[in-house]
């Protein structure tokens, strides 16, 4: 069922427009000459300062090098590569994701433990960095 527009609503619109006061002309402003802008001193890009202790390449023990490679890499990269290894070989415990099940290579890194928590893992790995 379509409803027709009411004639009263149409009549109100022109009346509302008629009630508005006439727009006044804006007064002319004096045009100022634009002052030449000073050239801004070139700013150096503020590079985030990396903590040099984390970014320093570390020498890996032969046991850890068997898992992630022998090249000296920073601590942060060691952790990333260990996690890549864990996920690639599906060594994260299914029931408790905080636990890491060690395979033959990781058990050697973990000091003979077959299962460690992810927090304990970083502590055990740090013993293999120098």
DSSP letter at 101? E
Looking up tokens 């099940």, which residue turns up? 101
pLDDT band at residue 63 under the 50/70/90 scheme: very high
pTM assigned to the model: 0.59
Architecture of the domain defined by 56-128: Orthogonal Bundle (1.10)
Across 84-93, average pLDDT? 95
Contact 47, 30 (CB under 8 A): no
């Amino acid at each position: 069922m379509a409803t027709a527009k009411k004639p009263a609503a149409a009549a109100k619109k022109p009346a509302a427009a008629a009630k508005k006061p006439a727009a006044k002309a804006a007064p002319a402003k004096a045009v100022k000459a634009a002052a030449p802008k000073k050239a801004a001193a070139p700013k150096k890009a503020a590079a985030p300062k990396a903590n040099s202790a984390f970014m320093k390449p570390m020498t890996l023990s032969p046991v850890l090098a068997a898992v992630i490679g022998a090249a000296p890499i920073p601590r942060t990269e060691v952790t990333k590569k260990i996690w890549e290894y864990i996920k690639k070989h599906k060594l994260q415990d299914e029931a408790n994701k905080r636990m890491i099940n060690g395979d033959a290579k990781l058990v050697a890194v973990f000091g003979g433990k077959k299962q460690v928590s992810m927090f304990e893992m970083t502590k055990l790995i740090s013993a293999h960095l120098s």
